[in-house]
Structure 1
């Protein structure tokens, strides 16, 4: 790579990193607003999304997938249970093990929010070509793969 391309590439990478920060901020505020609408904080809302995606999970599995401690997850599950979105059940194959599962009828009450968001997103994404969408998908999959990008804090 020539010196000129390297400098231009650095500028492009810096712009991308800045835009990712802006996107992250907007995403957090979006999920705060959604959480508020459904009676949850953003963390509880995203843990609910993990449960919805995974199906029945143990507290330990939810902690691992969210990056939260098992102590914090106990509070999350308590709040999700109190608001009626999940319930704790015994694992039929191991009665000592507790699982957390969605309460489908209560999830139906909030599904319109996510359907509306999906429609808005589809409209926004329709401006991109198939190749661009494939690149975006590849980027998102790579950036959320395990282990996640985590700086040492």
Structure 2
């Protein structure tokens, strides 16, 4: 979604997305601006590197949407995934930004493990909120 928002704003971002989205004809491209969007998750990198793929990307900004027990073939429990997210958060520089929803207690727990990057929150009680202006969601205010 972020890649499409940037595209629609005329920013022509580069991106790497897990599948081919409906609004682009490819799953990856180099952009014409410094913006590059990566859809990433906690799955391991390779049979010889069990760290999550996303710790290798070194983002400046991370939008963390959710954290749940997934990939039971790789992780024994939710705490193991939380540790991987903590490793990710610790790769983001102090001049970067971490954004996460207030409705995800596991993500809040990750932040509380230690984060030297500014954090902003979304959702009820967060710094960023959306107010629906129409019942179908076609009009809203941020």
TM class, shorter-length: under 0.3
TM-score scaled by structure 2? 0.26
Structure richer in strand, relative to its length: 2
- Tell me which structure has the larger Cα radius of gyration: 1
TM-score scaled by structure 1? 0.25
